[in-house]
Structure 1
Amino acid sequence: MNSELNRGRQSGLTLLEVMVAVIVFSVGLIGAGALLTSAIRGNHSALQRTTALTLASSMEARMARNSLATWAGQYNGTYGAGGSTQCDSQSCTSSQLAQADGALWGQQIADALPGGSGTIACANNGALPALVPGARIKPPYSGTCQITISWTEKGDEGSAAAVSTQTFVHNVQP
């Protein structure tokens, strides 16, 4: 009779052990899900920073190609969605090409990054030579340009800041 009583207690104990194991396993799955969510959010943030770098490098190449306008300050300003991008590089002046490049770049930023805008500030440390009409050479200037791209990024749901502004700064000498 004593052995029958022990079997009944033991089968109840086994059920309790299984319940505890299921609870521990469930907590582990919830943790794995939270980790996966965090990794996806971090991956998206990295994608946006990579996009900002690509857009900044794109504008750097345009500015290097149109160096007379770059060092005359014609690329300086803030760019976002809108603006005229109509310019044929064969018939445009360097100033018109700079305006078209800026408008196109601003539109690309607005399309690729949420709430995106870009700012360019160039400082020439040397004197500009006389501008020769039609000259398409790259003079040896000693200035630098700062290309800044800002966008909004969704924060963690539990954080106080639901949306944060991210900024990427690229210092170049085109």
Structure 2
Amino acid sequence: MIIRMPLSRQEGFSLVEVMVALAIFAIGLLSIAAMQVTAIRGNSSARRLSEATSLLQDVAERVLEEPYVNTLTAYNVLPAAASYNVTSAPSYSQIYYKDIFPVDSPALDQAVAYTVSIYLQNPGDLVPPMPMIPTDALRVTVTVSWQEGGRQRNVPVSLLKSQNMESSYVSQ
């Protein structure tokens, strides 16, 4: 004896329900993949920023450790950039550069080219002058720059270096 059930009592999923569920699942997976790509890009950018900051700190410390009398002669003087307005520039300001960090260091991402710029300025040439800064002080601005995602990124820091402050910065 065969027992047949009416069609309205059959259980299961229709093909339309399965297709809708698969579409929702696929959209969820694609969203997770896009989120993962964004996270990887963010981590990569953060790594480069961290490397640049570490390089910046290393270069700034090396500049501060140089004896004050050798600071100006320790760097190769480069000509001022073409966009530099000479008429409004302080008279003692120059752009200096010295290769003080090995580019082939394993600590740096080899796919990224970091550029280090060192700018020395006599704060006495600032307008208006700053009376609280010693007259023998040098304002040292170190900038690390690199290309990322088709745009220029940079991390700058400015420091003061003076003969009177030198003993606290020079390691013995």
State the TM bucket, normalised to the shorter chain: 0.5 to 0.7
Report what 1:117 is aligned to.
115
Q: Distance in 2 between matches of 1:59 and 1:33?
A: 39
Report what 1:69 is aligned to.
70
Q: Aligned to 2:123, what secondary structure does the other structure show?
A: coil
| Contact kept in structure 1, 2:114 and 2:144, CA below 8 Å | yes
Give the gaps of 5 or more residues in structure 2: 79-95, 126-133, 162-172
Shift of 1:52: 0.8
Report what 2:17 is aligned to.
17
Shift of 1:143: 2.7
Query: Number of aligned pairs?
Result: 129
State which of 141, 144, 151 in structure 2 corresponds to 1:149: 144
Residue identity in the other structure for 1:149: V
Shift of 1:21: 1.2
Report what 2:48 is aligned to.
48
Report what 1:104 is aligned to.
100
Give the structure with the higher percent helix: 1
% identical aligned pairs: 27
TM-score, length-normalised on structure 1?
Answer: 0.60
Q: Aligned to 2:113, what secondary structure does the other structure show?
A: coil
Shift of 1:54: 0.8
| Contact kept in structure 1, 2:52 and 2:114, CA below 8 Å | no
Shift of 1:103: 1.9
| Contact kept in structure 1, 2:123 and 2:135, CA below 8 Å | no
Q: Distance in 2 between matches of 1:4 and 1:21?
A: 27
Q: Aligned to 1:171, what secondary structure does the other structure show?
A: strand
Shift of 1:144: 1.6
Q: Distance in 1 between matches of 2:77 and 2:145?
A: 14
TM-score, length-normalised on structure 2?
Answer: 0.60
CA-based RMSD: 3.3
Give the gaps of 5 or more residues in structure 1: 79-97, 128-138, 156-162
| Contact kept in structure 2, 1:122 and 1:146, CA below 8 Å | yes
